[in-house]
Each structure stands twice: as C-alpha cells, then as structure tokens.
C-alpha cells in the first residue's frame, strides 16, 4: 500500500499525488547527480514544479529523498563489482573494481557522496555495506594472490577511493590519473625492496659538494650508479631501465644548470 493510501485510510492514492512523487524523484535524481547532497530541497521542488510542502509530504527529509534516489545506483554498482569475483585473475578483478567505481561515481555526485567516508555513515547504510563487502572480497583475493600490499585494509581502500573521486571530479582533473597513481601505490614493493616511485627528499645545500661537470648550487650528495641523483638539486632519480641515465629531475633543474654553465663561462 502506498503512503498516500495509508494516510487516506485505505483510499486509493490520487493520480496527481503519484505524478508529483514521480516528478520529485526525477528532479532529485538529476539534482543530486549534478550537485550532490548540498543541493537545497527548495531547488529540487523548483525543478519538479511543485512546492516544498509537496516534497515533504512524500519524503520527510532531504536525506530520505537522497536515499531513495541513490539506492538504485549503489545496488547496480554493487552487482557489477560483485560479478568480478568470478574473474580468473584476482589482481585484475580488484583493480577493475576500483576503476569501475571511479568511472561510475565520478560523473555522479550523488554516488560520490554515497561512497564518501565523510558523510553520515547511517546514510544508505545497508547498500553502502553491501558495496563495501563486495569490494572487500576482491581486496582479500588480490592480497592472497600477492597483488596488493598486505598492510592495506578495506577502510584504506574506501578512503583512497574518496580521494580519487575528489581529484578526478575537479575541473582540472585528468581522467584516470589519480586512480592510476593510487593503484600503483597499492601494489607491493618490487622484489629488490625499492619502491616503484622513489621518495623525493630535499637536499641539504653544501658548498663543498660537487656533482661533476654539471654541478648545481650545492647538491647534497654525488650521483652514483646505485643511487642516481639530480645534478642540480640532489633529489633521487628513478633509475632508467633503458637508454642513457637521467641527469636532472626535471626541466627546471636542467635550465638552472644550463644558466649556471653559461654564467661560469
């Protein structure tokens, strides 16, 4: 029995009430996808062509309306993520689930908010828990296969996902870049113990240190084959697999070294 019928003592729900509810849901679906939880309820009512009182008669709060709108998208996402459990490669299944989540939720602020770790955990809690369980299963399989570092837990993954959605949802975000960086960081370190992306350390200037013919303004340590460093600032360089080894960490240091050589002449 519909809520209109229940309030009317069993009387059939009026056709205009059903139409109003459908219009509110449709307007809310677009508004939440475009703006997220921050959209005012009055804006949803305006888009639906009804008064705010009509919205409240069908949904007691903006959060209740949000749940009604976002549940369908969350359940569909959970089904797609859960289906990846049958994939033969546990690593690719987990990484595909993360990419799929970002692709689905990135353009939809309603899904972004539903998956965010910053919103009220009670909001759409059952659907969010089902999604978390499906993703957690994939994470466990990938860790057992040695494809994901063992110190990562489901809460870490959800936090990283929120970060990906925030970074890629901005106007300057490059699609897929933040996700690729996060996935690279979730992989275990190489067998030689070196991280895939060496940490950048700030060199301590020293007037007595030299780095060969392209000496900069005080690189902290000399560059060696086992520990390559920028000849200008002394930062660690990622070892080159092929070709000539890099001498500078970037174009800025390369230009500084060039200007220094020109001045010395």
pLDDT per position as a tens digit, 139-161:
999 999 999 999 999 999 999 99
| Token code pair at residue 69 | 């709108």
Helices and strands counted in the chain (H then E) = 11, 0
Tokens of 222: 């000399």
Q: Rounded to 10 degrees, what is the CA torsion of 93, 97, 100, 106?
A: -160
CA dist 85 and 93 (Å) reads 7
pLDDT at residue 177, rounded to an integer? 83
Average pLDDT over every residue of 56-74: 91
pLDDT at 263 over 60: no
For residue 217, pLDDT over 50 is answered with no
d(CA 212, CA 70): 61
Q: What is the pLDDT of residues 159-168, one digit of tens each?
A: 999 888 888 7
Q: Using the predicted structure, report yes or no on whether residue 39 has a pLDDT greater than 80.
A: yes
* CA separation for the pair 55, 48 (Å, rounded): 9
Average pLDDT over residues 28-41: 92
* pLDDT for position 2: 44
Q: Which of 12-16, 115-119, 213-217, 249-253: highest mean pLDDT? A: 115-119
Q: Which of 87-101, 121-135, 223-237 has the lowest mean pLDDT?
A: 223-237
User: By percentage, how much of the chain surpasses pLDDT 90?
Assistant: 45
Q: Determine the Cα–Cα distance for residues 216 and 231; give it in Å rounded to an integer.
A: 6
Q: What is the pLDDT of residue 246?
A: 65
Judged against a pLDDT cut of 80, whether residue 55 lies above it is answered with: yes
Residue corresponding to tokens 């990135």: 106
Q: Contact, 198 vs 240, CB < 8 A? A: no
């Amino acid at each position: 029995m519909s809520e209109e019928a229940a309030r009317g003592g069993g009387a059939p729900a009026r056709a205009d009430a059903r139409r109003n509810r459908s219009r509110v849901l449709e307007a809310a679906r677009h508004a939440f996808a475009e703006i997220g939880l921050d959209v005012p309820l009055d804006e949803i009512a305006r888009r639906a062509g009804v008064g705010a009182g009509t919205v409240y008669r069908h949904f007691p709060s903006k959060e209740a309306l949000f749940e009604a709108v976002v549940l369908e998208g969350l359940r569909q996402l959970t089904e797609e993520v859960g289906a990846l459990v049958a994939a033969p490669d546990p690593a690719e299944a987990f990484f595909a689930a993360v990419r799929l989540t970002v692709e689905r939720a990135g353009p939809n602020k309603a899904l972004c908010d539903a998956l965010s770790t910053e919103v009220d955990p009670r909001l759409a809690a059952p659907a969010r828990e089902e999604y978390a369980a499906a993703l957690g299963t994939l994470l466990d399989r990938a860790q057992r296969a040695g494809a994901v570092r063992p110190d990562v837990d489901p809460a870490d993954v959800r936090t990283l996902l929120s970060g990906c959605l925030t970074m890629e949802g901005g106007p300057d975000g490059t699609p897929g870049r933040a996700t690729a960086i996060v996935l690279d960081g979730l992989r275990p370190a190489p067998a030689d113990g070196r991280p895939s992306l060496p940490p950048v350390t700030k060199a301590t200037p020293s007037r007595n240190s030299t780095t060969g013919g392209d000496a900069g303004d005080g690189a902290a340590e000399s560059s060696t084959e086992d520990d390559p460093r920028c000849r200008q600032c002394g930062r660690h360089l990622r070892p080159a697999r092929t070709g000539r080894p890099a001498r500078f960490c970037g174009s800025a240091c390369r230009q500084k070294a060039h200007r220094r050589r020109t001045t010395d002449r």
